[in-house]
Amino acid sequence: MTTDPLVIFTPSGKRGRFPVGTPVLTAARQLGVDLDSVCGGRGICSKCQVAPSYGEFSKHGVTAREGALSDWNSVEQRYDDIRGLKDGRRLGCQATVQGDIVIDVPPESQVHRQVVRKAAAVRDIVMDPATKLLFVKVQEPDMHEPSGDLERLAAALRDEWGITDVHAPLPVLTKLQKVLRKGNWEVTVALHRGSLDGRHQVIDVYPGFHEGRIYGLAIDLGSTTIAAHLCDLRNGQVAASAGVMNPQIRFGEDLMSRVSYAMMNPGGEVEMTAAVRAAINDLTVDIAAEAGITPDQIMEAVFVCNPVMHHLLIGVDPVELGQAPFALATSDAMGLPARELDLNRMNDAAQVFILPCIAGHVGADAAAVALSEEPGKSDDLVLIVDVGTNAEILLGDKSRVLACSSPTGPAFEGAQISSGQRAAPGAIERVEIDPATKEPRFKIIGSDSWSDDPDFGTPQITGICGSGIIEAVAEMRMAGLLDDKGLIGSPDQTGTSRCIVAGRTHSYVLHDSTADGGPLIAVTQGDIRAIQLAKSALYAGARLLMDEMGVDHVDRITLAGAFGAHISPKHAMVLGMIPDAPLANVRSAGNAAGTGARIALCSVTARRDIATIVRQITKVETAIAPKFQEHFVNANAIPHATDPFPHLASVTTLPSVSFNLGGGGSVDDQGRRRRRARK
Amino acid sequence: MTTDPLVIFTPSGKRGRFPVGTPVLTAARQLGVDLDSVCGGRGICSKCQVAPSYGEFSKHGVTAREGALSDWNSVEQRYDDIRGLKDGRRLGCQATVQGDIVIDVPPESQVHRQVVRKAAAVRDIVMDPATKLLFVKVQEPDMHEPSGDLERLAAALRDEWGITDVHAPLPVLTKLQKVLRKGNWEVTVALHRGSLDGRHQVIDVYPGFHEGRIYGLAIDLGSTTIAAHLCDLRNGQVAASAGVMNPQIRFGEDLMSRVSYAMMNPGGEVEMTAAVRAAINDLTVDIAAEAGITPDQIMEAVFVCNPVMHHLLIGVDPVELGQAPFALATSDAMGLPARELDLNRMNDAAQVFILPCIAGHVGADAAAVALSEEPGKSDDLVLIVDVGTNAEILLGDKSRVLACSSPTGPAFEGAQISSGQRAAPGAIERVEIDPATKEPRFKIIGSDSWSDDPDFGTPQITGICGSGIIEAVAEMRMAGLLDDKGLIGSPDQTGTSRCIVAGRTHSYVLHDSTADGGPLIAVTQGDIRAIQLAKSALYAGARLLMDEMGVDHVDRITLAGAFGAHISPKHAMVLGMIPDAPLANVRSAGNAAGTGARIALCSVTARRDIATIVRQITKVETAIAPKFQEHFVNANAIPHATDPFPHLASVTTLPSVSFNLGGGGSVDDQGRRRRRARK
């Protein structure tokens, strides 16, 4: 048998000897080479295309001569006539081994090709989607050996693909018989493999060999926004992205106010559930339209969300999440039909996968960030901060990963800010203040020019968004307009008329278009207080994890969240949002939760991994930690009352000013007063 | 260790030695003795009650002395104070072994007690229901070890009951947290074990120890009627029974006319599906009301039905069942949530189990008959006929079981009969004709007297039901009013004025109340033809199975179907509905399909058995069998043109008369004419 031809596959390098006449696809499968096939070797799908190489390969110790593969057969010829095969390509299921040969598997013929390539390339994700298209030939019914069409379809999947435990939900059963007959007993099956139970569900069935594409939705269901990526389940590519506001905002801006709404209003949780499901349905319709596909091409949806959003999505009253011990109704990952969640704008049999929650305050969104950023695989100690209405914070390295969440409130997203607005054209997103003249310049969303540039023109300036307010406050601190307690100085104290008197406090004017009937965009003392509350909560959460880890500094910081992408690391550190660290080691990971959702959408293996990851994370509960309040109070100062910021000091020196007139009270007092006022 | 006390359980006779202090329940479990427990040994449920016996038991070789069980403890005392324990009873979980003892497990403490005891007692069924109540104590949530309430419930079921793979559908998840807290972390779970996949589904959850009962529905979904039994899932007892007409009748009286309706009317199958589901919902409400229970106490429903009803129930267009090769969309048993079938008048999380179909013409109802009657375990050759709009026929013994169905049409149910009506008060159900005077007497439903009895009075007589028309025709044959071809004689030929002229044919008057404005109830020549067509189809089907089996007679005959219970074996044989057999060996099995449904409802084991039984049955397709037509034509004669009926001849001699006037045509001609007329 040693005289059998040697077959070497690249790029894998896998090799083996096979009898003359063995199809290349068979050889690849026996060696475990990643070579795709949808039609099961019938020469229809062309997914198993390979590129044979001829000549002498000293590296492999083999010489491939002409004739090492069989001549084109009629199937290949027909395929080439009708659809065309690239030069040098062969169909792996048709070409057979005749002599020693080196065969390259091009990327598009690999099932498990890498697709979700992250900016910082910590790792790549290979395609291993839950839903795949499989072509099968089904036995025709035989009156004398009666069996159901579904049972014969399942037998074909078993015999041709080795797949067992196949089920069909009612929407598939109702169409199965017509499709089988229309396809003359050849059909393409969209088959979903449950990552939790390994069951196979038929999502759809098409007559004959189906050329159409199938898609999945990766949905980041946030308190404020719902963001979705529509991904091609064949190659992981994003076909369209879309986002809408979470309509639950009308029931409460932040998580706790929504929990309160459910507590105060009988049936309130039912309202909120209906609202968010309707919004997801609308979003599904929109994103399908944008990509030019039909809703029935959407086979599945993967959700990441915080625990309150999670419970409201599945229809569970979140009241327990509003009080200690913050018990989740269910914490594990969930797989269920989309129609059970009233998500009926996808395929009728579409499946939903919801990532697991880490704890009552640390949700599937944090799990998704952990899946995307993999702190548990980091050599150095990394702090990951997912900034949103609720901040999820992860701290860890190879030895251990900790997680908590902290209620920052919506100030970082421009809410509860006097001139605040969503990140939309016309919103100030970047701010610089000249330390000498105290004059600001800014950039608005929708324009590439700074406001002092002649090209800036006279656009409509409507407000200030989250990243804008953070930069503005940090710049005010750097320019000496704001002291370390967070007080804005008076015109006299600061020497600029941009600081204006507003009752017993002061504001700093960024832009005044009142003369033209436009808005006065200023940073008020109230805005500063809102930012201080938010950043103190964030910092205190991070410090709590550092205490638990027994460290006083971190090696690197990752800012996640769609918004994290727009925060300047230096300004975040000046503000004291994050602990001191080398500035070069502070980077943005973009929407890491959304990336985690895409990874889970593209990979069943990742769905299984996340269950393990979540179990290994140590959860820290901020709401009852005795030291949280102390950390919170100390973090009110800008950047901090007690913690040193040596790395920050090495790049900028903050002016030592104090504007305390004795009337403003501490931030902590203000916080208490606010809380009282709410009651 | 041989000095450990000996414990002997009766009636099982299981015995073993156990250390002093072992609870009786523990000893029972270790020996595999069938001793119930819902509360898991906490002395709450009292399901583990046992009756210790003291004295000398020479049969067991043991002497049980006073003190062989521990004294009453406080738990038993409290139970007795509050609820009372029967004299001599102990709680098996509290009483511990102290010396040699004989312990009787009373029937009500056995889980697997026999309940479905059939009339002829071929076998008994033991309780092994899919849904059971289990009491558990759930760990309270711990902020520092966060996990979901569901996950902790699943852990409790695993630790206390050894149950894994527990899932909770959304209706349970939405209420779980409130119930756990209301029960102070002690809850009773209604847990459903899927017979197909072994998964455990929580159907409902109750605070604390739940005293309420849980129920299941066994539903025989027929073409004409839907019959349901509401069964207590604890002991299998029927709490209520109810039946309604199948509203699909308005779309077509028999199966094929409903298939035609679906073919001719786009969306017709959707209408029929909605109609039958609505009727089942109404029936569920009615039966719950009759039993005085709430719909949420109904945990599951088991369905048996013919293939067309099966497909229309699950929402599949039955068109393929109307033409060769009669392919089923799915043939295997199905388990799915009731809500997926829009059956929403049971518990929100109720489960449905549908028995498997045997073939495109032989449905889950026949499978249920096989489950109930077990022809495959019979020593002698048994023919089982389930008489309905479609007749299901089984023939077999230990060596082999055959099955087919035959389209008898609704004549046996009183439809297509001139004075025919449903079996309801006022309908003639029994008929006798004096061979000498040719005068009839009859009984009507709702009266115990014969019509010639002075006690009969003057009730309203409204028509003739299925069993009445069969007896009438058979009696007419025995009285010489009808010849073997099925022709009714003229007044002259028969010598009675009860035979009246009706066009070119004759009718026989059973009852004439036209003088009082009432109906004339007669058996017309058309009625005879309808009965002949029906009985010929039935007989031909049975003969086809006998051909396949290679026999010319059967040992015994079982008449199944609600209607089978009312057919007189002798009259059925005179008519030639069934082959000749010893009359004593022809018996009624009542509604065997309904019994099969009840068995499946009460036993997961039976649900698994039926899959095996169905696979072992050989299916015979009547519609394409070349000999069917020949058998059908020969069976038109009364009782039969060619087959001898020696057993019948031994009990009755049929008059040799012939009324053929040359004008009536053969039955076969009439059949052809009818079929033409339908086109």
Burial code of A584-597, b = ≥16 C-beta within 10 A, e = fewer? Answer: ebbebbbbbbbbbb
Taking a contact as any Cβ pair under 8 Å apart, which residues of chain B between 354 and 393 contact chain A? Answer: 357-360, 362
Q: What are the residue ranges of helices labelled H in A340-494? A: 364-373, 466-478, 491-494
Residue A30: its pLDDT value, please?
A: 87
Evaluate whether residue B373 is within a structural domain.
no
Give residues 80 to 99 of A whose Cβ lies within 8 Å of B. none
Model pLDDT, residue A121? 34
pLDDT number for residue B575: 94
pLDDT, tens digit, 9 for 90 and up, residues B502-540? 999 999 999 998 988 888 999 999 999 999 999 999 999
Closest Cα to residue A514, out of A526, A500, A527? A500
Contact criterion met (CB < 8 Å) for B619 and A327: no
Per residue in B427-437, pLDDT tens? 899 999 999 99
Return the number of other C-beta atoms located less than 10 Å from residue A551's C-beta.
14
Backbone angles phi, psi at B331, to 5 degrees: -110, -25
Kindly state whether residue B677 falls inside one of the protein's structural domains: no
pLDDT confidence tier of residue A674, bands split at 50, 70 and 90: very low
A10 and A125 in a single domain? The answer is no
In a domain, B87, yes or no: yes
pLDDT at B666: 43
In a domain, B362, yes or no: no
B315–A148 CB contact, under 8 Å: no
Which domain-ending residue is among A148, A173, A207?
Answer: A207
Looking at the structure, tell me whether residues A121 and A244 fall in a common domain.
no
A333 touches chain B (CB under 8 A): no
pLDDT band for position B119 (50/70/90)? very low
Lowest mean pLDDT among B122-136, B564-578, B601-615: B122-136
- For residue A186, give the CATH number of its domain: 3.10.20.880
Q: Could you count the other beta carbons within 10 Å of the beta carbon of residue B282?
A: 15
Pair A189, A263 in one domain: no
Q: Are residues A230 and A91 in the same domain?
A: no
Q: Per-residue b/e over A130-139, b at no fewer than 16 CB within 10 Å?
A: bbbbbbbbbe
Q: What is the CA radius of gyration of chain B?
A: 30
Please count the structural domains in chain B.
5
Please check the confidence at residue A502 and state whether its pLDDT lies above 80: yes
Whether residue B506 is contained in a domain is answered as yes
Is residue A229 assigned to a domain? yes
Whether ipTM > 0.90 holds is no
**Do B105 and B199 belong together in one domain?**
no
For B:617-656, CB contacts with A below 8 A are: 619, 621, 624
Contact criterion met (CB < 8 Å) for A329 and B173: yes
Q: What is the mean pLDDT of residues B88-104?
A: 92
The answer to whether A381 touches A549, Cβ cutoff 8 Å, is yes
**For position B665, what pLDDT does the model report?**
42
Calpha distance A116→A426 (Å, rounded): 32
Residues of A whose CB is below 8 A from B173: 314-316, 329-330
Residue B268, amino acid: G
CATH code of residue A291: 3.30.420.480
Alpha-carbon distances of A595 from A244, A599, A602, B587, rounded to whole Å: 18, 6, 10, 70
- B219 shares a domain with B350: yes
Predicted confidence (pLDDT) at residue A394 exceeds the cutoff of 90: yes
Cα–Cα–Cα angle for B53, B56, B61, rounded to 5 degrees? 105
How far is A175 from chain B, CA to nearest CA, in Å?
8
User: What is the least distance, in Å, from the CA of A594 to any CA of chain B?
Assistant: 24
What part of A 241-300 touches B (C-beta under 8 Å)? Answer: none
List of chain A residues whose C-beta atoms are within 8 Å of the C-beta of residue B199? 197
- Domain termination site, one of A207, A235, A260: A207
Calculate the average pLDDT of chain A: 89
E-strand spans in A373-513?
Answer: 382-386, 391-397, 400-406, 427-433, 440-444, 463-464, 499-502, 505-512
B328 touches chain A (CB under 8 A): yes
Give me the CATH number covering residue B103: 3.10.20.30
Structure tokens, A320: 């327990």
Q: What is the pLDDT of residue A661?
A: 60
Domain boundary pick from A82, A109, A136 = A109
Cβ neighbors of A464 (< 8 A, separation 6 or more) are: A414, A417, A419, A420, A421, A427, A428, A472, A510, A521, A523
Query: Which residue in A144, A170, A624 is closest to B340 by CB distance?
Result: A170
Residue with tokens 């106010």: A257
Nearest chain A alpha carbon to B619: A144
The answer, yes or no, to whether residue B545 has pLDDT greater than 50, is: yes
Closest in A141, A316, A359 to B327, CB measured: A141
Q: Which has more pLDDT, A179 or B622?
A: A179
Of residues B614, B615, B541, the one with CA closest to residue B579: B541
CA dist., res. B526 & res. B488, Å (int): 10
What's the DSSP call for residue B5? P
Cα dist from A670 to A9, B54, B556, whole Å: 69, 79, 94
> How high is the pLDDT of residue B558?
93
- Across the interface, which of A148, A317, A621 has its CB nearest the CB of B329? A148
Pairing of strands A225-232, A101-104: unpaired
Question: What span, in angstroms and rounded, lies between the C-alpha atoms of B657 and B408?
Answer: 27
A591 shares a domain with A558: yes
Residues 397-436 of B with CB under 8 A from A: none
Q: Which residues pair with A57 in a beta bridge?
A: A62
Is the CB of B150 less than 8 angstroms away from the CB of A359?
Answer: no
The DSSP result for B283-331, as a single string, is HHHHHHHHHT--GGGEEEEEEEE-HHHHHHHHT--GGGGGSTT---S--
Compare CB distances from B141 to A147, A325, A341 and report the shortest one's residue.
A325
Return the CATH number at A627: 3.30.420
Q: Which chain A residues have a beta carbon less than 8 Å from that of B151?
A: 330-332
What pLDDT score was predicted for residue A409? 78
What distances in angstroms separate CA A611 from CA A307, A331, A386, B170, one per listed residue?
16, 10, 20, 21
The answer, yes or no, to whether residue A320 has pLDDT greater than 50, is: yes
Residue in A140, A151, A177 to test binding to B, most B beta-carbons within 10 Å: A177
In a domain, B376, yes or no: no
| Residue in B closest to A149 by C-alpha | B329
Q: How far is CA A65 from the centre of its chain?
A: 49
Which has more pLDDT, B368 or B411? B368
Which candidate in B144, B177, B621 is best for mutational testing of the A interface (most A CBs within 10 A)?
B177
DSSP helix/strand/coil, A509: strand
User: Tell me: the pLDDT tens digits for A111-149?
Assistant: 766 544 444 334 467 789 999 999 999 999 998 888 999
Pair (B399, B418) in one structural domain: no
Query: Chain B residues with CB inside 8 Å of A359's CB?
Result: 143, 146
Mutate to test the interface with A, among B143, B352, B355 (most CBs of A within 10 A): B143
Which residues from B are below 8 Å from A277, CB to CB?
none
% of residues, chain B, pLDDT over 70: 94
Note the pLDDT tens digit of each residue in A209-223: 998 899 999 999 988
Q: Which two tokens stand for residue B668?
A: 């076969």
Q: Hey, CA dihedral for B140, B146, B151, B154, is it positive or negative?
A: negative
3-state secondary structure A383-398: EEEECCCCEEEEEEEC
Question: What confidence score (pLDDT) does residue B535 get?
Answer: 94
Contact between chains at A143 and B336 (C-beta distance less than 8 A): no
The reply to whether residue A148 touches residue B340, judged by beta carbons under 8 angstroms, is: no
Give the side-chain half-sphere CA count within 13 A for A617.
Answer: 36
Please tell me which of the candidates A143, A173, A324 has its beta carbon nearest to residue B316. A173
Confidence of residue B112 (pLDDT cuts 50, 70, 90): low
- Global pTM reads 0.82
- B174 to chain A: closest CA residue: A316
| Cβ pair A326:B360 closer than 8 A | no
* Percentage of residues in chain A having pLDDT higher than 90: 62
Q: Write down the pLDDT at residue A162.
A: 94
CA B140 to chain A, closest CA, distance in angstroms equals 9
Split at pLDDT 50, 70, 90, the class of B623 is confident
Cα–Cα distance measured from residue A477 to residue A648, given in angstroms and rounded to the nearest whole number: 13
> Which of B329, B359, B362 shows the shortest C-beta gap to A173?
B329
Is residue A270 included in any domain, yes or no? yes
* Nearest alpha-carbon partner for B463 in B424, B425, B421, B423: B421
Q: Which residue has the higher pLDDT, B547 or B117?
A: B547
**Cβ of B44 under 8 Å from any chain A Cβ?**
no
Which residue of chain B comes nearest to A154, CA vs CA? Answer: B330
pLDDT score of A315 more than 50 = yes
Contact A336 B176 (CB under 8 A): no
What is the predicted pLDDT for the residue at B383?
Answer: 96
B607-625: string of b/e by CB count within 10 Å (b at 16+)?
A: bebbbebbeebbbbbbbeb
Are the C-beta atoms of A85 and A93 separated by less than 8 Å?
A: no
CA dihedral B170→B171→B177→B180, nearest 10 degrees, is: -130
Mean pLDDT of A451-477: 91
Is residue B185 scored above 90 in pLDDT? yes
Whether A31 has its CB under 8 Å from any CB of chain B: the answer is no
Q: Do B317 and A150 touch (CB under 8 A)?
A: no
Distance CA B86, CA B107 (A): 14
> What is the extent of the structural domain holding A140?
114-207
Element (H, E) at B502: strand B499-502
- Whether chain A has a CB inside 8 Å of the CB on B147: the answer is yes
Q: Tell me, what's the pLDDT at A123?
A: 46
Is the per-residue pLDDT at A487 higher than 50?
yes
- Same domain, residue pair B73 and B38: yes
Measured in angstroms, the CA of A335 and the nearest CA of chain B are apart by: 11
Confidence of residue A85 (pLDDT cuts 50, 70, 90): confident
pLDDT score of B123: 46
**Closest chain A residue to B176, measured at CA:** A329
* A147/B331 touch (CB, cutoff 8 Å), yes or no: yes
A300, A378: one domain:
no
One domain, residues B104 and B166: no
Q: Tens of pLDDT along B231-282?
A: 999 888 899 998 888 899 888 877 888 999 999 998 999 999 999 999 999 9
Cα–Cα distance measured from residue A613 to residue A627, given in angstroms and rounded to the nearest whole number: 27
Distance from CA of A180 to the nearest CA of B (A): 10
Mean pLDDT score, A434-438: 95
What average pLDDT does the structure give for chain B? 89
Mean pLDDT computed over B21-38: 88
Asked if B31 and B150 sit in the same domain, the reply is no
User: Would the CB atoms of A174 and B315 count as touching at under 8 Å?
Assistant: yes
Contact A151 B330 (CB under 8 A): yes
Using CA atoms, how far residue B91 sits from B24, B50, B53, B68, B186, in Å, is: 8, 6, 14, 15, 20
Q: Which residues from chain A sit within 8 angstroms of residue B170, using beta carbons? A: 314-315, 336, 340-341
**What does the block give as tokens for A372?**
């995307």
